[in-house]
């Protein structure tokens, strides 16, 4: 198994996924879970272990994210799948800081590719 073209090492690659929804989602973000699992499959990664802060705004305490960050710092995960950086924080600076923190522990942050089609320039 490889992460972004790097050769595999003998240590297993544990993969996490993080989701946050506000307000509370009674379906527990099932479509997002499925999309992240399919993305992991396309990348040749194992099924992600999902961490979900359901019904919690990004500006308040996020207990599942905090637990995930502790595990990342301990070297448990090698990759983190996200639907987008907004789940970490709606504040771009804070989201970027968290991404750098995660990457600094050797955990690659992978976002779902955009589903938006590239724009075709209009004829002049």
- The DSSP secondary structure of 30-88, one letter per residue, reads HHHHHHHHHHHHHHTPPPPEEEEEET--TTS--HHHHHHHHHHHTT--SEEEES-GGGT
Q: Would you give the distance in Å from CA 70 to the centre of its chain?
A: 15
* Three-state SS at 21: strand
From the CA atom positions of the chain, what is the Rg in Å? 16
Distance CA 14, CA 69 (A): 14
- DSSP 8-state assignment for residue 46: P
Q: What is the pLDDT along the chain (124 residues), one digit of tens a residue?
A: 445 555 455 446 799 999 999 999 888 899 999 999 999 999 999 999 999 999 999 889 999 999 999 999 999 999 999 999 999 999 999 999 999 999 999 999 999 998 655 555 555 5
Enumerate domains of the chain plus CATH numbers.
Answer: 15-111 (3.40.50.1390)
């Amino acid at each position: 198994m490889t992460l972004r073209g790097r050769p595999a090492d003998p240590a297993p690659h544990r993969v996490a996924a993080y989701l946050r929804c506000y307000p509370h989602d009674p379906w527990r973000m099932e479509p997002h879970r499925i999309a992240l699992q399919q993305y992991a499959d396309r990348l040749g990664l194992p099924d992600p272990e999902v961490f979900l802060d359901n019904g919690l705004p990004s500006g308040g305490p996020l207990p599942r994210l905090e637990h995930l960050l502790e595990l990342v710092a301990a070297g448990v995960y090698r990759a983190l799948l996200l639907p987008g950086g907004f789940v970490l924080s709606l504040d771009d600076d804070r989201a970027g800081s968290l991404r750098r923190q995660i990457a600094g522990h050797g955990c690659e942050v992978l976002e779902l590719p955009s589903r938006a089609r590239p724009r075709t320039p209009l004829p002049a």
